[in-house]
Structure formats: structure tokens, C-alpha cells
Structure 1
Amino acid sequence: MTSRACVLHGVRDLRLETQPEQPTGPGDVKIAILAGGICGSDLHYFDHGGFGPVRVREPIAMGHEAAGRVVETGNDVETVQTGDLVAINPSQPCGHCLYCKAGQEMHCLEMRFMGSAYRLPHEQGLFRERVVVPARQVHRFNRTVPVRAAACAEPLAVCLHARAQASDLKGKRVLVTGAGPIGALCVAVARDAGAGEIVATDLQAVPLSIARQMGADKTVNLAEEQDGLDAYKADKGQFDVVFECSAAASAIRDALTCLRPRGTLVAVGVAGDTPMPLNLIVSKEIAFRGTHRFHAEFADAVEAINSGSIDVTPIISPSFPIEMARDAFEQAGDRAHTMKVHILFNGFSGP
């Protein structure tokens, strides 16, 4: 049997191709993908052929955020059954390197991350009508969870891991700089953790309106209010924690200026070499923390969506069938009007 896949061959060279289906072996699960979310890294591959040293060097099926229904299981799989709605954890750490043994699987030396061009051959992604993965990578949802919400488990896991890099947020004042999908979800996880006040910034109105739906108490459009954060810079800063989701030098400076002494900045956004005011980090004794992917947080994200403790649906934008995958990528790149665009597979058109 065959299935169709969204395959990138080079810059903006996205093709819909037919591929043979993989067989389902012991311990495996075959999934009919229904919805796949387009991530910022997918857009970098599509628009620029990669980011930093990571380049597309051979055809690669895109995507690492996806949900679908189980259509076949290996004879020893007991965790899911045919018909279950599931999300797929794209992270495949080796389990035996020094970082895996230390419980730092996101830093695995032999990491295989689906939809990534880091290694050669590339790790094929999830924008395929049928995929076969080990059962340990599959997480089941309740029957009431919308498919596209289930497909948001991966970006939510990213934000839960980012939250884990900060101190206890209960009652704290939190700033989120950059209100795209990851920024909006950082707002949601901060609200879920009991933050006392959450302020989100961006240069576009639509992301800021979504951030308010996700739990922001106040939003600041810095394209219209260049002094919108000035009040938070008083007395060496007013925020306890910043989730910096833009990777823009100006936003990092604002974040450090608005942080109180001994506050924490969690750098979520990714870019190349970026200038920053080291003097503020040193003089205010700022804890500057990076955050990279996730591990156990994927299961936590699924549980949060299952329980309804975090509602991801506000970030979901209009979706496109697989035949219109290029249009989906074009729309996903329009940050002024969209947040999380999904590609739909196998004729799915529901919520």
C-alpha cells in the first residue's frame, strides 16, 4: 500500500509525493495522520532550506506536530488500540548515552527527531498519510478532544519544559515577549501555574488578541506603543520571570530591563548570534536559562489537553487539506493574520 506525503526538496520546493507504507512490526503502531501543525522550524526549512548549520540536503517529509487515529498495532502493543486518537512524540532519544543516563534525554547525543534535517539521512517527518512508530511514542486522547487540539501537544510540551526552567510561578509577575504560537502557549502554562500577572508583547494585533484569550492580563503592541513597557522598568524592573519567545535583540533588551534583580529569563526563541546587554545580566544578577525541546513533558502536555486544564484551541488557525499544503505554508508564514496552521490528511475536515 502507498500513502501521500509532503516532501521538501529544497527552498520552497514542496511536493506531494506517493510513498510505500511501512510495515507494522512488533511494538509498533500504524497511524492515519489527520492533522499536522506547521512549526517555525518547518517554515525555516520551506523558506530558507534550513536554519544555521542545519540544511536540507536530501528530500525530507516535513512536520513534527501531528495527531491521528490508530489503524494497526503490533501483536504485543497494549497501550493503544485501533480507533484511538493519538499524538506522536517526535523525539527519539537513544536511551544509553551519557545524557540519557543522566535524565537529560533532550540533549541525547544520538537524538533522532522526526522531521529534522540535522542528521543525514534526514529523519522523515509526520506530514504523511500513514506513519509507523514505536508504541512508546504514541499518547492517547479522550474521545472528546478535537483532533487539531491533539496535534498541539508537541508545542505545548515545549512550553511546559520552558516553564520547568523558571522558578515557581505562583503569584509571580510574568512577561512573555513574542506572542506567536509558542508565546501564546507560554502565557497559558504560566496562567496554569498560578502566575499573578501576565503581560505579553508583540508587534502584531492578532497574536496579542490570542494571548489575551490564553490568559494574558495585559498585552502591549510595541509597534504602536514603543514606550508600552516603560512603567515596568521602574525600580530596576518589575517582573519576576520572562519567557523570551522572539529571539529579537530588542526584545531581549526589553526583557532584561523589565526584570527585577535576581529575576529569571527563560530564552525560548531561537536565532543565530544575537547581541545582548551583558551588563544588565551581570549587574542585576539575572538567571539566564535556555530551554530545549522536552521529554517527560510530552505526556504532561497530553494530560493537560485531556483534562482541559490548558485550552490550546485559541491558537488554532484555518487549516488546509494535503492537496493545498503549499498554501498552508504560505498562510503559516503570515504572522499578521494566523497562528497555528494545520495540514489535514486522509480527507479529515472536522474540528
Structure 2
Amino acid sequence: MTTSTTTAVVAHGADDLRVEQVDLRTPEPYEAAVAVAYGGICGSDLHYWRHGAVGQSILRAPMVLGHEVVGTVVHAASDGTGPAEGTPVTVHPATHEDTDVRFPRHRPNLSPAVRYLGSAARFPHTEGAFAREIVLPAAMLRELPRGIDLRVAALAEPAAVAWHAVSRAGDLRGKRVLVVGSGPIGALAVAVAARAGAVEIVAVDLHAKPREIATAVGATRTLDAGDAEAIAAVDADVVIESSGSHRGLASALRGATRGGTVVMVGLLPNGDQPVPVAHAITRELRLVGSFRFNDEIDDVITALADGSLAIDPVVTHSFPVEEALEAFAVAADASVSGKVLLAF
């Protein structure tokens, strides 16, 4: 198979991020080529940059990062599947393989055989999509309605993560919601909860900037993460824990009303965590995990198109791909940024 090259953002190991040329495959009949417009920097991308690993997913070879991308089809799949040339698209970054391991078949995000763009969970690694041009199965592409700002559409993937988390809590109409951790996923959860009819949304964060963004997308008030007494007094029907820290989870448990629901979408480190689980027992809290998403990205696209999901303020910075290292540094500083995009 012949190859050409394209500019990409590649993690070679801890603190070793490079913008370099990588091979671009000729598409198979079922694959399309996409010219990437924007890519959103995710927490997992930051971990690969800083630590060379995300939990047990350890870099064993250089890997192209990125899974939150939008662009335009420049070569449609020759077998006739997928979007036509010239179509603006976003990407569903997961693919699934058959497995004999038991899991709910209607919840493929729980499959142990899933592959995710820009992941070192397997070897050879699954290359990511931070490149000027990418080749992907046409089935991974989602057509974007004409007129959608691609900068905002770059949030479709993380917004789907937030949508999945909020849906795990059930009907939010008339409910009081507490969101612990107001980074990009938390802010997007605020926006999704507002669209879902929550009557009150309290957003919590250590920093003023994320609280400001949360207010802009629908939070009715915000609290400093250090104000434990005020957080406990929220008495929320539903709590979305998106900080990914044991302190955040402790706040979530204390801030939930008796009989309430705590959705855990923030990914905590591996190993035991010191949290006040007794609160969950004595208050009969419902603790719910939330991992990635399934088809919620389609709901997000529809909501962006009809204007019912307002998430523009979540994007705070955009850097040309040549300035990727600076972009990653800004994205890693939650006190100054929300979602940081790379412009390809």
C-alpha cells in the first residue's frame, strides 16, 4: 500500500511531545480521508504528554494523540458508504470488536474489546487523529449539518461524554443538580443538565475561570471547591462528579440529598480511594458510573443544530498545530482555560 505524509502531534514519552510528519495510508474501500479543522485537547492527551501513560495504558511506541476532531471529507469511501466528499464531519472515536466476554450488548462502551483513537491501551497502539489529514473507517464519521461552527462542533465528542453522564441520572426536570469539577466535561454537563430541565444547577471548582464558564453555559450559582460546608448544604437531587479526584467524590457524596443520585464521570486514579462511603449507605445514595458514551454524539449534533445546546463558552483558546506544546501547557492550567483547540 502506498503512503504519503501529514503533519501530526505525536507523544514519544513523558514530556516528549513533537509536531512531525507521519505516514498517511491510502484509504481502504471502506475508509474515508478527512482534512481535520480542529482537535480538542482532552485530559487523556495531557496524561500521555506529561506521564507517558493514562493509568495502565502506557506508551510503548510513539503515538499520534487526539480523539476530539472535526473536519471535512476530502476522499469518500470508495465502497459508497459514509459521507460524500466535501461533507463536514465529526468523529466517533470508538470501534468495537467481537468478544466472548460478558457485558450488556446494548452498551458497547462497556465492551473490553473497544478501541479508542489515540489510546495506548493495546499494542500496537491505536493512533489518534491530531493530524492535518486522517484516514478512518467511514462508519466512524458523523455528518454535521451545514452552518454549524466547526470550533463548537469540536466539542461534540466531550459533550457526548457529558450527555451520557447526565442521562445516567434519569429525568432531571425540576431537579436540583450539583456539578463537582467545572472543567470542560463538568461545564458541558452543566449545559446538558440545563437543556434537560434542571431547575437549579450549582457548579463547583477550585478556580474562578471554570466557574465563570459554568455560569455562562447554565449554572445558576457556583461554589469554591474549598467551601465544604456550602457544598454539603446544596442538598442536590443529582450530583455529577467530574473532578476525577477523591476529594471531589467526597464533596459529591456530602452534597447529595438523602436518596439522591451521584454520577461518577471523573476518572479517579487506579487503586483504593479515601472517600466517606458511609454517606452513601446511611443516605441510601445511588452511585452510578459513567464511561465514555455510545450513540449520544448523534443527540449532541442534533442539539447543536437546533440551538438547544449552548456550549460555545467552553472553548477558550485555539492554537495552530505548530504551537501544540504551548497549547498543551495552557490546556493543563485549569485556572486559565476551558477547552483548548488545535487548529489544523
Give, in angstroms, the shift of residue 50 of structure 1: 1.2
Query: Which 10-residue stretch deviates more, 176-185 or 315-324?
Result: 315-324
Aligned-partner residue type, residue 247 of structure 1: G
List gaps (5 residues or longer) in structure 2: none
Residues of 2 paired with 1:65 and 1:95: CA distance?
25
Residues of 2 paired with 1:228 and 1:256: CA distance?
13
Aligned residue in 2 for 1:94:
97
Aligned residue in 2 for 1:228:
230
Aligned residue in 1 for 2:298:
299
Aligned residue in 2 for 1:175:
178
Aligned residue in 2 for 1:330:
329
Q: Is the 8 A contact 2:232 2:251 kept in 1?
A: no
Q: Is the 8 A contact 1:38 1:343 kept in 2?
A: yes
Aligned-partner residue type, residue 243 of structure 2: S
Instruction: Tell me, yes or no, if structure 1 residue 257 matches structure 2 residue 254.
Output: yes
Give, in angstroms, the shift of residue 22 of structure 1: 1.3
1:188-246 C-alpha deviation (Å, 9 max, x unpaired): 111111011100010100100100011000111234x45433533xxxxx211000011
List gaps (5 residues or longer) in structure 1: 233-237, 346-351
What does 1:1-351 correspond to in 2, within 5 Å?
Answer: 1-94=4-97, 97=100, 102-223=105-226, 225=227, 227-232=229-234, 238-272=235-269, 273-345=272-344
Say which SS state the counterpart of residue 233 (structure 2) adopts: helix
Aligned-partner residue type, residue 231 of structure 2: L
Relative to structure 1, the CA distance from residue 100 to residue 136 in structure 2 (aligned partners, 3 Å threshold; closer, same or farther) is farther
Give, in angstroms, the shift of residue 135 of structure 1: 1.3
Say which SS state the counterpart of residue 198 (structure 2) adopts: coil
Q: Is the 8 A contact 1:99 1:109 kept in 2?
A: no
Give, in angstroms, the shift of residue 75 of structure 1: 2.5
Give, in angstroms, the shift of residue 278 of structure 1: 1.6
Residues of 2 paired with 1:15 and 1:37: CA distance?
17
Residues of 1 paired with 2:172 and 2:69: CA distance?
29
Residues of 2 paired with 1:119 and 1:299: CA distance?
27
Say which SS state the counterpart of residue 324 (structure 2) adopts: helix
Q: Is the 8 A contact 1:175 1:242 kept in 2?
A: yes
Give, in angstroms, the shift of residue 248 of structure 1: 2.3
Q: Is the 8 A contact 1:97 1:110 kept in 2?
A: no
Aligned residue in 2 for 1:349:
none
Relative to structure 1, the CA distance from residue 104 to residue 190 in structure 2 (aligned partners, 3 Å threshold; closer, same or farther) is same
Aligned-partner residue type, residue 229 of structure 1: I
Say which SS state the counterpart of residue 337 (structure 2) adopts: coil
Identity of aligned residues (%): 39
Give, in angstroms, the shift of residue 100 of structure 1: 7.1
Q: CA RMSD in A?
A: 1.5
- Consecutive aligned runs of 4 or more in structure 1 exceeding 4 Å deviation: 95-101
